[in-house]
């Protein structure tokens, strides 16, 4: 019953690290900062991928694949982008190992196999993709170009945490080219909306849509749109970003098109991505001291059935009854596991599925055989209920929807309770330090003030919310005039 | 009509290279030997992935993800494996770039950011995975471990060709651990069978199942099982391999389990993979001088409809009729594109879809409006037929099945016509040089003879076919006794 799990209020960070490993989601590897995503964690990622991929295709995007490596000369072509990622690049310098003459049985880099030009392992693919787009775009007929890639990327981060920040991670990166600025802006905002819908409707994780302040923008972007979620410890998580890249990459890689009027114009660009970091957000939005809590729409196993029996005969009798509703549940597209392993006791199985966050657990014992009932437990509230076998299919279908909804509502309530509007810096500091969560405050729009606030409170501007109205106010730190509240928080 | 495509009989290799690029499947990138897989090519890969993934899951495998990098000390742990891949490894030596003081605006590797231990970009993942399996396997209860990974891998090949041999490629690699030798052997053979079924039933590409001779085995395997296909130019293509790894990796990484009897035992292993190379095989099995020919089961677009019209009114009238059967076709799971672009003429569209290998093309013109007909062309035979609109759905469904079958039969016929049984080395040389294809011959079982034959004829042993019966014979080269014919061919 998650009894070995550190309690959240004792040490949230420890709770998270333990949970990821104990729930069989991921583990650290022999490579510094790189994780192994275990089958159960990867199954969640596959469910995320399937939904996102469908949403990308429905909005007209096609998948493609570009090289893992970026030659240094391409990498440095867009200066701001290069500057932003140069400090954390894995670099391939050689293409061969040889026997080490000083160390029998060991290998060393073959000094004769030095690459003429170093290759950067992609931290993001704008450079290699825009160098390719150059060949794909000639005329307005070739636009828009709406491409997505599912890939691994590498950023040599110094402090890493499973899913949240790893040296290698899996993600998708959309890269689009458009004839006009307006179209590109519309695309960037559309994809932010797609991300928000995915987060809320599938992950049951409420998000704030906003724009990043200049200092938090993607390196090489003119505007970065973000979705920001609030974790249970009051820290914000940047869950997905969509960038309006202006003509920065088009100019760096000389990507022009001939307009209908026969003029040569630079194209306009966007890029957008979400990653395996989402799994970290999923965990920290819903899970509890007993283990993982998964929203039904992304749970690899939605319903688990645990038989409680003595002897093969009783198991056979239970199985016969169970098979009836398992078939019906599966026919409705619900994923069901009937756990008949005889190497574990029911109590151990209960603990395992609680830890792994399976939304619905059905226990079927001797008394249920006699009464034609089952016991159904929901993972989100841990409540149990006895249900007639005839009603299992309807009950479970409804319950899965209810759990999905309840998780979202619970998270919304938490966020509302942890969003504070403040008008003085005293209130600001108090909210950040003692309450946590989002703090909505006026800001004078300067990087200096942003930096100072960060220095004093560790809080950063998470976003300038799109839905915030204009209002006259004064910067919470400098008193200078401000037109719009922005959202601050400590963050992952 | 593919009129700019080099004819196969003029230069098969040139035909292939041109076709891959002109049909928008892939292109070379700025990184030596690495390709860009374009949306149309990637869509074929997605279809392949979906079927293979389903087949892997149906046989009990789960997906997971392991690091891109292998620390050198792990890489060299299994000696034969290390030796086999050391010569073609991309190696990461540094983790940061910095501004180049000698070259303003340029970057260089930061000499202070040298890794303590070099990282090999995975050419295959046995080493990193077996190092992980060590932590996953304790008892017989943990076995079998049935894992698959979809990933990119890098082998620094000197001569590369789009899809067939690229420095980076996409693949899946299965890695399994078993309690007994027998189970591991059964698994390796099962996955060879899965690959063969996929190749034949989905790619319509007949394959020979066999074992590799010692010199053609995977580095680190005790046995390599292969599926070998025959391309239209008479060369063989190794299309997928499944390896019985014995206890080699278990010993190198010290992976033991406690048996039911309480004894510590090394586990037994397999690994198996297919890659984007399959797309090369698909192309070279079916395509013709007019362009790509795709089997319906893997075609991203199965049916294309081209309207032939003058003015919006006629297009509207055609669209109304087309919409009826498009809906019905889609409801049957058939992917249909109705190409109403007004920037291209019907003739240009016909040529495009012919080049791209769309299995069925429906043309709908003014006369069809009057007669309630359409003209249906099949890509495999280029035959056309007039069909009543009411019969389109049934006709097309049947036609897609017929095309799938016809492509397979055509390929089987080609292979039969290009498989020669020989008993003398004169016959052998004649068959290899003048006829091409598979040559079935007795071989004395020695590496020396294999090498000599390769030196003299460029033909290698593609496999020792599983279905070949034992028979007394004499080695075609040395005359030494042999018990079984093996299959030789020139190969990709």
Model pLDDT for residues B381-431, shown as the tens digit of each residue: 999 999 999 999 999 999 999 999 999 999 999 999 999 999 999 999 999
d(Cα A270, Cα A176) in Å, to the nearest integer? 5
Rounded to the nearest 10°, the torsion over CA B4, B10, B14, B18 is: 20
Q: Name the helix (H) or strand (E) containing A49.
A: helix A39-58
- A296-403: CATH homologous superfamily? Anticodon-binding domain (3.40.50.800)
- Beta strands A168-178; A145-154: pairing state: antiparallel
E strands, A41-144, in order: 62-63, 69-71, 91-94, 97-99, 107-109, 114-121
Q: How far is A168 from chain B (nearest CA, A)?
A: 7
DSSP-assigned beta bridge partners for residue B338: B305
Residue B200: other Cβ atoms inside 10 A: 17
Q: Name the helix (H) or strand (E) containing A197.
A: helix A181-201
pLDDT tens digits, A183-207: 999 999 999 999 999 999 999 999 9
CB within 8 Å of A9: residues ≥ 6 apart: none
Chain A residue numbers touching B105 (CB-CB < 8 A): 76, 79
Q: What percent of chain A has pLDDT over 90?
A: 98
Average pLDDT over residues B128-156: 97
Q: What is the 3-state secondary structure (H, E, C) of B159-196?
A: CCECCCECCEEEEEEEEEEECCHHHHHHHHHHHHHHHH
Q: Nearest Cα to A337, choosing from A303, A374, A300, A293?
A: A303
Q: Nearest Cα to A150, choosing from B170, B121, B57, B275?
A: B170
Does residue B200 or residue A4 have the better pLDDT? Answer: B200
Q: How far is B426 from chain A (nearest CA, A)?
A: 41
Contact at CB, B152 and A151, closer than 8 angstroms: yes
Residue A270: pLDDT band by 50, 70, 90 thresholds?
very high
Average pLDDT over residues B289-300: 98
Chain A residue numbers touching B98 (CB-CB < 8 A): 86
Q: Does the structure show a pLDDT above 90 at A429?
A: yes
B301-398 and B419-489: identical CATH topology: no
Evaluate the omega torsion of the peptide bond into residue B254 and state whether it is cis, within 30 degrees of 0: no
The chain-wide mean pLDDT, for chain B, equals 97
B444 near B390, Cβ under 8 Å?
no
pLDDT tens digits, B420-437: 999 999 999 999 999 999
In degrees, to the nearest 5, what angle opens at C-alpha A228 toward C-alphas A486 and A171? 140
Is the ipTM beyond the 0.90 threshold?
yes
Backbone angles phi, psi at B347, to 5 degrees: -60, -40
**Locate tokens 């200092």: which residue?**
A215
Q: Name the helix (H) or strand (E) containing B98.
A: strand B97-99
d(Cα A481, Cα A472) in Å, to the nearest integer? 7
- Using CB atoms within 10 A of its CB, is residue A261 exposed (0-12), middle (13-18) or buried (19+)? exposed
DSSP calls for B438-458:
EEEEE--S-HHHHHHHHHHHS
Q: How far is A43 from chain B (nearest CA, A)?
A: 7
Residue A4: pLDDT band by 50, 70, 90 thresholds?
confident
Average pLDDT over residues B23-34: 97
Six token digits for residue B296: 């319906």
Average pLDDT over residues B456-469: 97
What is the per-residue pLDDT for A1? Answer: 45
d(Cα B299, Cα B291) in Å, to the nearest integer? 14
> Per CATH, the architecture of A12-90+124-286 is what?
2-Layer Sandwich (3.30)
Fold of B301-398: Rossmann fold (3.40.50)
Q: Nearest Cα to B205, choosing from B120, B320, B283, B144?
A: B283
Specify whether domain A419-489 bears CATH 3.30.110.30. Answer: yes
Q: Does the structure show a pLDDT above 80 at A211?
A: yes
Residue B3: pLDDT band by 50, 70, 90 thresholds?
low
Chain A residue numbers touching B93 (CB-CB < 8 A): 91-94, 109
Q: What chain B residue is nearest to A38 in terms of C-alpha separation?
A: B64
Q: Name the helix (H) or strand (E) containing B369.
A: helix B366-371
Average pLDDT over residues A83-109: 96
Best to test chain B binding among A27, A28, A30, A131 (most B CBs inside 10 Å)? A30
**Locate tokens 């450079």: which residue?**
A127
d(Cα A422, Cα A438) in Å, to the nearest integer? 10
User: Domain ranges in chain B?
Assistant: 12-67+132-209+223-286, 301-398, 419-489
Q: What percent of chain A has pLDDT over 70?
A: 99
What is the per-residue pLDDT for A465? Answer: 98
Contact at CB, B67 and A36, closer than 8 angstroms: yes
The closest CB to that of A76, out of B68, B107, B343, belongs to: B107
Q: Nearest Cα to A294, choosing from A25, A52, A35?
A: A25
d(Cα A114, Cα A97) in Å, to the nearest integer? 11
A154 near A123, Cβ under 8 Å?
yes
Contact at CB, A128 and B30, closer than 8 angstroms: yes
- In a 13 Å sphere around the CA of A219, the CA atoms on its Cβ side amount to 18
Average pLDDT over residues B292-304: 98
d(Cα B33, Cα B469) in Å, to the nearest integer? 41
pLDDT tens digits, A389-409: 999 999 999 999 999 999 999
The chain-wide mean pLDDT, for chain A, equals 97
Contact at CB, B63 and A82, closer than 8 angstroms: no
Contact at CB, A30 and B71, closer than 8 angstroms: yes
SS3 content of chain B, % helix, strand, coil (to 5): 40, 30, 35
What is the per-residue pLDDT for B1? Answer: 45
> Per CATH, the architecture of B12-67+132-209+223-286 is what?
2-Layer Sandwich (3.30)
What is the per-residue pLDDT for B4? Answer: 83
Chain A residue numbers touching B31 (CB-CB < 8 A): 67, 69-71, 119, 128
CA distance readout (Å), A363 to A329, A340, A376, B233? 16, 12, 6, 62
B421 near B485, Cβ under 8 Å?
yes
Chain B residue numbers touching A69 (CB-CB < 8 A): 31, 34, 90, 168
CA distance readout (Å), A458 to A454, B34, B107? 4, 43, 32
Six token digits for residue B169: 């490629």
Contact at CB, B74 and A131, closer than 8 angstroms: no
- In a 13 Å sphere around the CA of B447, the CA atoms on its Cβ side amount to 4
Contact at CB, B64 and A37, closer than 8 angstroms: yes
Q: What chain A residue is nearest to B107 in terms of C-alpha separation?
A: A76
pLDDT tens digits, B177-236: 999 999 999 999 999 999 999 999 999 999 999 999 999 999 999 999 999 999 999 999
Six token digits for residue B150: 């979809």
Contact at CB, B90 and A91, closer than 8 angstroms: no
Q: Does the structure show a pLDDT above 80 at A309?
A: yes
Residue B343: pLDDT band by 50, 70, 90 thresholds?
confident
What is the per-residue pLDDT for A3? Answer: 60
Q: Nearest Cα to B229, choosing from B196, B201, B194, B271?
A: B196
Beta sheet of A336-338, edge-to-edge order: A336-338, A303-307, A360-364, A373-378, A384-388
d(Cα A16, Cα A21) in Å, to the nearest integer? 9
pLDDT tens digits, B113-125: 999 999 999 999 9
Backbone angles phi, psi at A54, to 5 degrees: -60, -45
Chain B residue numbers touching A87 (CB-CB < 8 A): 96-97
The closest CB to that of B91, out of A69, A88, A94, belongs to: A94
Residue B141: pLDDT band by 50, 70, 90 thresholds?
very high
DSSP calls for A274-296:
EETHHHHHHHHHH-BTTB----G
CB within 8 Å of A126: residues ≥ 6 apart: A78, A81, A175, A220, A245, A249, A271
d(Cα B340, Cα A55) in Å, to the nearest integer? 24
Q: Name the helix (H) or strand (E) containing B81.
A: helix B79-86
Q: Does the structure show a pLDDT above 70 at A2?
A: no
Q: Does the structure show a pLDDT above 90 at A343?
A: no
Q: How many CB pairs under 8 A join A and B?
A: 189
B362 near B349, Cβ under 8 Å?
no
Chain B residue numbers touching A89 (CB-CB < 8 A): 95-97
A139 near A118, Cβ under 8 Å?
no
Chain A residue numbers touching B144 (CB-CB < 8 A): none
Q: Name the helix (H) or strand (E) containing B414.
A: helix B392-417
The closest CB to that of A37, out of B43, B65, B89, belongs to: B65
């Amino acid at each position: 019953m998650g009894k070995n799990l550190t309690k959240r209020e004792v040490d949230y960070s420890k709770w998270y690290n333990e949970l990821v490993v104990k729930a069989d989601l991921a583990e650290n590897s022999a490579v510094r900062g790189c994780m192994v995503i275990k089958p159960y964690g990867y199954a969640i990622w596959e469910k995320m991928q399937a939904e996102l991929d469908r949403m990308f295709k429905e909005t007209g995007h096609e998948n493609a694949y570009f090289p893992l490596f970026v030659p240094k000369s391409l990498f440095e072509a867009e200066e701001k982008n290069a500057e932003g990622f140069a400090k954390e690049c894995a670099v391939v310098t050689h293409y061969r190992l040889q026997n080490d003459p000083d160390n029998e049985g060991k290998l060393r880099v073959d000094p004769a196999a030095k690459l003429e030009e170093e290759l950067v392992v992609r931290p993001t693919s704008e450079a290699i993709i825009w160098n390719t787009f150059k060949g794909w775009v000639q005329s307005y007929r070739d636009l828009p170009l709406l491409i997505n890639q599912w890939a691994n990327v590498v950023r040599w981060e110094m402090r890493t945490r499973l899913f949240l920040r790893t040296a290698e991670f899996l993600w998708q990166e959309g890269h689009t080219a458009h004839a006009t600025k307006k179209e590109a802006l519309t695309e960037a905002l559309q994809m932010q909306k797609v991300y928000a819908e995915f987060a809320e409707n599938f992950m049951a994780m409420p998000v704030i849509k906003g724009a990043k302040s200049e200092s938090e923008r993607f390196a090489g972007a003119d505007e970065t749109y973000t979705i920001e979620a609030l974790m249970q410890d009051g820290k914000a998580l940047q869950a997905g970003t969509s960038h309006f890249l202006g003509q920065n990459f088009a100019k760096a890689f000389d990507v022009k098109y001939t307009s209908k009027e026969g003029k040569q114009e630079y194209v306009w660009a966007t890029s957008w991505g979400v990653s395996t970091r989402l799994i970290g957000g999923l965990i920290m939005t819903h899970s509890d001291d007993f283990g993982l809590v998964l929203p039904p729409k992304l749970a690899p196993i939605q319903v688990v059935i645990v038989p409680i029996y003595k002897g093969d005969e009783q198991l056979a009798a239970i199985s016969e009854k169970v098979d009836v509703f398992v078939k019906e549940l599966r026919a409705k597209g619900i994923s069901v596991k009937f756990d008949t392993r005889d190497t574990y006791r029911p109590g151990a199985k209960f603990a395992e599925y609680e830890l792994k966050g399976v939304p619905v657990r059905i226990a079927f014992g001797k008394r249920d055989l006699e009464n034609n009932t089952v016991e159904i437990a929901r993972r989100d509230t841990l409540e149990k209920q006895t249900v007639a076998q005839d009603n299992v299919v309807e009950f479970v279908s409804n319950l899965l929807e209810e759990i999905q909804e309840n998780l979202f509502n619970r998270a919304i309530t938490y966020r509302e309770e942890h969003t504070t509007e403040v008008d003085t810096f005293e209130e600001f500091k108090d909210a950040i330090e003692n309450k946590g969560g989002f703090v909505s405050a006026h800001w004078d729009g300067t990087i200096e003030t942003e930096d100072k606030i960060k220095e004093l409170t560790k809080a950063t501007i998470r976003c300038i919310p799109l839905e915030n109205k204009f209002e006259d106010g004064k910067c919470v730190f400098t008193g200078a005039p401000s037109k719009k509240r922005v959202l601050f928080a400590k963050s992952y």
